[in-house]
Structures are given as C-alpha cells and as structure tokens.
Structure 1
Amino acid sequence: MEPAMQPKFRTIVTRLLAGACLLCATNAAATAASLSTVYKTIANARFVDLTHSFGTDTPVWSGFGQAKMTPAVDPTTKRPYDIAHDGFRATYYEMVGQYGTHVDPPAHFDEHGTTMDKIPLKQMILPLIVLDDTPYLVKDPNHAFSLDDLHAWEHKNGRVPEGAFVALRTDMSKDWESNPDRFKRSPFPAWKLETLKFLYEQRHVTATGHESMDTDITDKMDSETYILKSGHYQIEVMANLDQVPAKGALIVVSWPKVKDGLGFPARAFAIVP
C-alpha cells in the first residue's frame, strides 16, 4: 500500500469498526429490551408445578428400593449437626437417581449416550404440548396412547410443533400420595411405541414425559429404549398435567449438573399464558 493511502485506509477501517460497534450496541440494547418484555410477560403468567415432592416413602421401582434421609454428622464426633450447636443443619441423602419426578438422559440406556450434565440448556425450556389420555381410560384403564389418538388430537388442536416437549396426561399422579399402591400398579396407561416414533421422527419433538414411573405398557421397555437410544431425554413421574392446556404453555425443566450423571430428581414447571 502506498504511504499516501495509509491514513485514508486507517480512516475507513476506523469508521467501519465504529459502525460495527454501534450496530452491536444497538442489537444488544434491542435484545435486552426484548428480554425485559419477555420477563414481564412471564412474571404475569400462571406457574404450574409439574413435580412431585419426594421422601423416604415415595413410590419407587422395587429394584431400586426406598431412599434414606438422615442428618449429616460431624465426621470426627459423629454427632449430627444442629442449629443450636453449629448454627446449621444438613441432610445426608442416599437414593437412586431415578427417584420421584426425574430425568432419564440417553446414557441411562446407552453407554455412548449423552449424560445429564451434557444435555444442552436450550433443551430445558421448550414449548409444552399435553396429550390427554384420560378420555380413553373410561373404557380402557390401561390405554396406550396410539397414533390414531395423536391424529385425533392434531385434528382438534393443530400439528405438534417441532422442538416441543410432549407430555402424556393420564392423571396417575393423583394416586402418588393418596394411593401409592395403585400408582405402582401394572399394567398402567402409557405410550404406544408407534406414537413416540411418529413424534420424534415426523414431528421432530425434543423430549417427552409422562406421569408413570415407566414409559412402556410392557416389560420389554421398547419405548424407553427407543427414546434414550435415539439421543433424547425424558421426564418421568410428572404431576399436575391436568392444570395445563393442550398447547400454548412453556415447560422449564432443570436438574443438578452431576458429572457423567445417569439420572436424578428433576424440577419441572409450566408457564401458562
């Protein structure tokens, strides 16, 4: 570059950089304003807890056994910490990851699958679709939600959107505390494999969930195996789906970031307009 051109070139570059910075600042301000509007909308919405509280007597698969919750103790004196002597108290938890309302990451069934700490954050807030199985349970208490049922739902409510979280309402959650033996019954209402395949392969949903402790109506675990080995997560033992509309809500799901975790109690809630 000729010496006479260098000052002019620097001026052009400086102006371009200044313009780019102004554009970035403008975009950042617009994004912040947009997020502020989103927050105000969310703050005025209705929140529905989709999570059960759990304790030592919570229903759980017999192969895992009940949780144990005991006071945390001083490792030297073995005395439980308490507020009077130590200013704090804490609980020691001993339980399987798949306990209460919980997340099943792909690695739960696939040794090469994604563990719970590596599930993308963007997959933890999604449009929520609720499929209602309860009308079919009047004649068939263990009805598996079929592809025909899904088509009927779409005919009434519109196409299931891509990227959604799809939850199956069966109202089993109402037995969680009041009748735990009934909650643990088998068989129980659940998914049909063909329905899940259609949702993931044709509607391209992100994740699914249900109220029961298992995905399947049989002991073969075909549906759960399909979901997890396809690289998707699921939420089991959901609650209060009867309080959420068929579409239009958002779901937020979170869980501890356990390194290489294979499952853990989760907190899920719906934001309802």
Structure 2
Amino acid sequence: MARSKQNKSCFKRVSIGVLAALLSVGVAKSFAEDKDVKGMQSIQFRKVIDLSHVISTTIPLWPNDPPVTFDVVATQEKDGYYLRRFSIGEHSATHMNAPNSFHPNAIGIDAYKPESLVRPAVVIDIRTQARDNPDYVIGVQDIEKWEQANGRIDQGSVVLFYTGWQALWNDPKRFINEDAKGPHFPGVGAATTKFLLEERQIAGVGIDTHGADPGQDTVYATNSQILAKDGIVLECLTNLDQLPAKGTTLVIGVLRLKEGSGSPVSVMAFVP
C-alpha cells in the first residue's frame, strides 16, 4: 500500500512536469527565459479543482448578450449516435476575454500561446467588503493587506479575486444585479490594476463575478489595461473557496475560435 501511494504521488509530480514541457515546445527565447515559466517545469499537487461552471441554457448572461441554445441534430435511435449543436456568446459562462474585444487590431483568443495559459495563481478573499457593498472597488489596500499575510505576489501570477458572487450563479437576476443604472457587482479598480501590472508584473486577473471591472465601470479600465498587454482576464469563475491563498497552478483551456473576442474556458487549478 505504501508503494502504491508513493507511485501515485510520483505520477502527480511527473505528469504535470511533462505537461509543462510539452507546452514549452517552440517557445520564443524571451518567454523561455521568463523565470515564472521556468519555475513551473515540475509541479506537485494534491488535488485538481475545476473552476468552470457547467454551461446550460439558464446561466446568467450579460445584458443583451445572445442566449445559450442547444439543438439536437442526431439521435441514437435515428442516426446511431447522439449529437447536438450549441450556440453561446464568446463572453458567456466561465470565459476568458481576448485583446481584440477592447483594442482594434489586437490578437484574438486563438493567438494565445499555450505556455502562456499555464500560470501560478494567488487568491484574494474580499467577501466581507463585497457583502457590505455590492459596488465595491478592489483597491491597492486590499493587495497590500494580502501581501502582509502571504508575502509579495510573484511575477507572472494570475490574481484571483474571491468575492462570494459564485454562490449566486444559479440566480441569474441576483448574479447580474441590474437596475436602471446597470449591473452592480464588485470588481478591480483601475489604479489597482495599474499597480498589479507595473509593480508586480502579473499575467492577469480572474474573478467570480461577470466582470473583472466593477459592474458600474462603463469604460472597462481593468480589462483594457490587461488586454493591452495580451494578458489574461478570467470571469465567472467558481470554486475559488477551495483554493489556498497561494501555491496553486492554473491550466486554462480555451476554444481556439478564429479571431475570437473571447471564449468559454475550462480552468483547472492544481492545488499543492
């Protein structure tokens, strides 16, 4: 039994090391020299957490976004197999935004290199602030408070913000929280994003609301800043409560839609 457990542990370490090695094939010199990428060539983990919601026709949608539809096009009884066609907006469900959604002539979701989608992650819990104020703007003080307890955020990290909004996913009206002034949910302030990009050199952010920007931000400053650098913006994440404050590695799977403005994604968190 002891030997079996040892082999299982070894498999967990080597399998992700192989994944990182495969993803690094053909990497440009500048990226290969990036220390945060080098540090992920071998990853140890105890469990894998899926940070993506199940996609259905009842998921919360951004105002005026197209509905999610599924249509049966083949059945086992008639055709010998089961097949559906589906339709979904590029920024619906758990998804990643692409630079061309905010910047003309920028890259689409299909242009991200695979190695850029394997990233260390930290989780900053702002549930208390969000509970008291649904329009809470995440500030630099929230970053500094987290770092006082956990140490400096590593270069190349994706910073995940746990607002508690994931618990509202099955209640679309409350999740979007829209009134005459628009949606109301917490998000990352413009100055905070600037600080994270310039002072911590992060790779991007993720959040369990429908937007990295606060719901009342109509200029999408956080998205704009990060995507101007071809960074990562993940929205509508879930299961952030199951992650530690630091040490997790994310593997992000995108649909490589030609010139896509974004894509529903499968986000796997490898937890040490």
TM-score by length of 2: 0.79
Q: Is the 8 A contact 2:155 2:200 kept in 1?
A: yes
The match for 1:187 among 172, 184, 189 is 184
Instruction: Give the Å deviation of 1:258.
Output: 1.7
Specify every segment of 5 or more residues in structure 2 that has no aligned partner in the other structure, as ranges.
Answer: 1-12, 19-41, 178-182
Distance 1:245 1:227 in 2: 24
Deviation at 1:229, TM superposition (A): 2.2
What does residue range 1-273 of structure 1 map to in structure 2 within 5 Å?
Answer: 35=14, 38=17, 45-72=46-73, 81-177=74-170, 179-185=171-177, 186-217=183-214, 218-273=217-272
Cα shift at 1:114: 1.7
Distance 1:236 1:86 in 2: 38
Identity over aligned residues, as a percent? 27
Unaligned runs of 5+ in 1: 1-33, 73-80
Which amino acid is the alignment partner of residue 62 of structure 1?
P
Asked if the contact 1:250/1:270 (under 8 Å) is kept, the reply is: yes
1:98-135 alpha-carbon deviations (Å, 9 max, x no partner): 11001101111112212111111111111111111113
Aligned counterparts of 1:129 and 1:143: Cα–Cα separation in 2: 20
Aligned residues: 231
Residues of 2 paired with 1:37 and 1:122: CA distance? 13
Deviation at 1:148, TM superposition (A): 0.9
The CA distance in 2 between the partners of 1:210 and 1:193, in whole Å, is: 15
Structure with a larger share of its residues in strand: 2
The residue type equivalent to 1:226 in the other structure is Q
8 Å CA contact retained: 2:212, 2:234: no
Distance in 1, matches of 2:44 and 2:232, equals 28
Question: Post-superposition shift, 1:233?
Answer: 2.6
Deviation at 1:138, TM superposition (A): 4.3
Calculate the aligned-residue CA RMSD, in Å: 2.1
Q: Distance in 1 between matches of 2:166 and 2:209?
A: 7
Superposed displacement of residue 87, structure 1: 1.3
Kept in 2, the 8 Å contact 1:165–1:209? The answer is yes
2:27 alignment counterpart: none
- Cα deviation, 1:137-195, whole Å, max 9, x if unaligned, reads 34334322110111111111000000111111101011101x22110113211111111
Other structure's SS at 1:154 match = helix
CA–CA separation in structure 2 for the residues paired with 1:215 and 1:165: 12
C-alpha distance in 2 between matches for 1:171 and 1:92: 33
Letter in 2 for 1:91: R
- Counterpart-to-counterpart distance in 1, 2:80 and 2:16: 42
| Cα pair 1:58 1:66 within 8 Å, conserved | no
